[in-house]
Amino acid sequence: MCGISGIFNFSETAPISQEHLKSMNTAQSHRGPDAEGYFFGDGVALGHRRLSIIDVSGGGQPIVSEDKNAVIVFNGEIFNHSQIADELKAKGYHYQTHSDTETILHAWREWGVECLHKLRGMFAFLIWDEKLKQLFVARDRLGVKPLHYALLNNGTVLFGSEIKVLKAHPDFDRSLDYTAVEDYLTFGYVPDPKSIYRNVKKLQAGHYLLFQQCKGEAGAATLPTPVQYWDLPWDAPNHEDAEEAKLISQFRDSVDIRLESEVPLGAFLSGGVDSSAVVAMMAGLQSTPVTTCSIGFDVPQYNESEFARIVSDKYKTLHHCEVVNHEDFELVDKMTQLYDEPYADSSSLPTYKVCELARKHVTVALSGDGGDELFAGYRRYRLHLNEQKVRDAIPLWIRKHIFGFLGKYYPKLDWAPQFLRAKTTFQSLSMSSSQAYLNSMSKLRKDERNALYKEQFKTTLNGYDAGEVFEDVLDGKVFKDKLKEAQYLDFKTWVTGDIHTKVDRASMAHGLEVRVPLFDHKFVEWAFRLPSSVNLKNGEGKYSFKKALEPFLPDDTLYRKKMGFSVPLAEWLRGPLQDKMLSLLSSEAVKKHNIFEHNVLMKKAQEHISGRYDHSASLWTIMMLCQFLVKEEASK
């Protein structure tokens, strides 16, 4: 795994500063501790930081074609590169290395943008074609690898694996996008293609860009429109049944293809279904014991380490485990530096720690991420489908009046038994399916955000609402199957904005490559066509996956109550992190941006501290924004 950087100008006569590119590339040195490399041309420059995995001795970047007409910098792994290389060699292409990077470069020369359909893996790359005067920029289908870009006022475009790469350029514009703040407070991350900075965009998963350079002076610079080259098979007919043997065959293949490495390789093992399934497949494919790593917690109800040990014992893995305690939340400051923008998934802390642990033993780790999104494992899917039965039975105009009233005036009873906590349900029943799903998964629901916002901030938003994110994703698509709709929305927002962001930054901070077999695009294309009825059956999420795994994992692993990779946030915000929280919420840097009504914010904090309400998710989300704003003001 690596980091890439680049500077492009629409005019070939525009000067490119070598010093600026080197500063940008140095900002991501953690992503590639083994080597760095540069290419400087007319109006274009590319940089690379390398973590050596394949062709360790000869795969340095940038790689330049034999005729000097094309050059590439690449972050990721192409797992079928050998097969593509054989095809290209048969067409007369000569190889200088054994790396997958060179295969992408040759594939571009042979097939142009259609080369993307050949690639199986995770990737983000920049290819400069000197003959065509084109810069080809692409990101993998599921957004495993990141790519950011920004247009400067002088017409120069910057590229980087992380936002900090762009920020290292002296002309970077730090102006914030306040609609992204609204998005963040809703989702807990800034969904693609936005970033927290007004001029920085994220290239969306399954998209590419083509920049055309002109020979003379360029006119007014405008960014090209990203082109989508892949999508989930959202409108394809379903398979007739779960096909358990086929599921295991496809899954085993997606694991097997990810085992190529010239450096030590292992796996994360939480003790949950998905990571245990990956380890089970690895154990059957490798002749040597699998190295596994897990993180436990010092609060028993959040600690899955004993379940990880059960799977480790079954498959005789070389297992390593460490415990996270509240002192590890001193990492809060580091998280802001790591993610470059507000990011509220508190599991980023144990993810950071398990990556730190894994890097002591391996350079590549396989992860179990993806099973919940692909096979409907989250509790929210089950609740959404139950609510949908009511939405289907009662017309919207009736639901809006009845449930809208109840949702507005029903109290928030966090302290009450589960069956009495109906406020969110009433709100969701008054909405359309996609609006309801957004409401159910929001860190702060719309009414909560509006209560917190200052009037000045509402004016700044000018009527913008984070619900537009889902509207843009659906773009007129109509789903008869509302569970599939929710999964599709998650793949387009949550998967790229939360999961892949979390794992990429946490792993790269330690020079660790993480591979995700459950997000293999061929496996995803097949599994996404499973009927919802076999994924969510008899109240059991991920039913088809669990059923197929019964020969490989014990029932206690497959069918015990899901814990997730969560942390005891509510307790920590009432205890060791209380002072940190109150300090951030009251900071002058936060008040300066005129986002929150301070009295409402502090009331929310005190309600949580008292134990009467559980505001941990929303308070943590606000805290991470506050932490970002404090850091941002300090850097000015």
For 48, the 3-state DSSP assignment is strand
Residues of each domain in the chain carrying CATH 3.60.20.10: 2-228
How far is Cα 450 from Cα 465, in angstroms, rounded to an integer? 10
- Across 18-57, the runs of DSSP E, i.e. the strands, are 35-41, 44-50
pLDDT of residue 485: 96
How far is Cα 573 from Cα 419, in angstroms, rounded to an integer? 26
Query: Any catalytic annotation for residue 214?
Result: no
CATH superfamily of 244-324+339-376+494-559: HUPs (3.40.50.620)
Residues of each domain in the chain carrying CATH 3.40.50.620: 244-324+339-376+494-559
> What is the DSSP track for 612-632?
SS--HHHHHHHHHHHHHHHHH
pLDDT of residue 419: 39
Quick check: 25 and 3 in contact, CB under 8 A? yes
pLDDT of residue 363: 94
Quick check: 509 and 358 in contact, CB under 8 A? no
How far is Cα 490 from Cα 504, in angstroms, rounded to an integer? 18
Which ranges of the chain have pLDDT less than 70? 1, 52-59, 216-219, 242, 299, 302, 326-329, 396-397, 399-424, 426, 428, 430, 563-566
CATH topology of domain 2-228: Glutamine Phosphoribosylpyrophosphate, subunit 1, domain 1 (3.60.20)
pLDDT of residue 367: 98
How far is Cα 77 from Cα 508, in angstroms, rounded to an integer? 14
pLDDT of residue 333: 78
At 141-178, the pLDDT tens digits run 999 999 999 999 888 999 999 999 999 999 999 999 99
**Catalytic residue (one of 2, 115, 293, 626):** 2
pLDDT of residue 417: 41
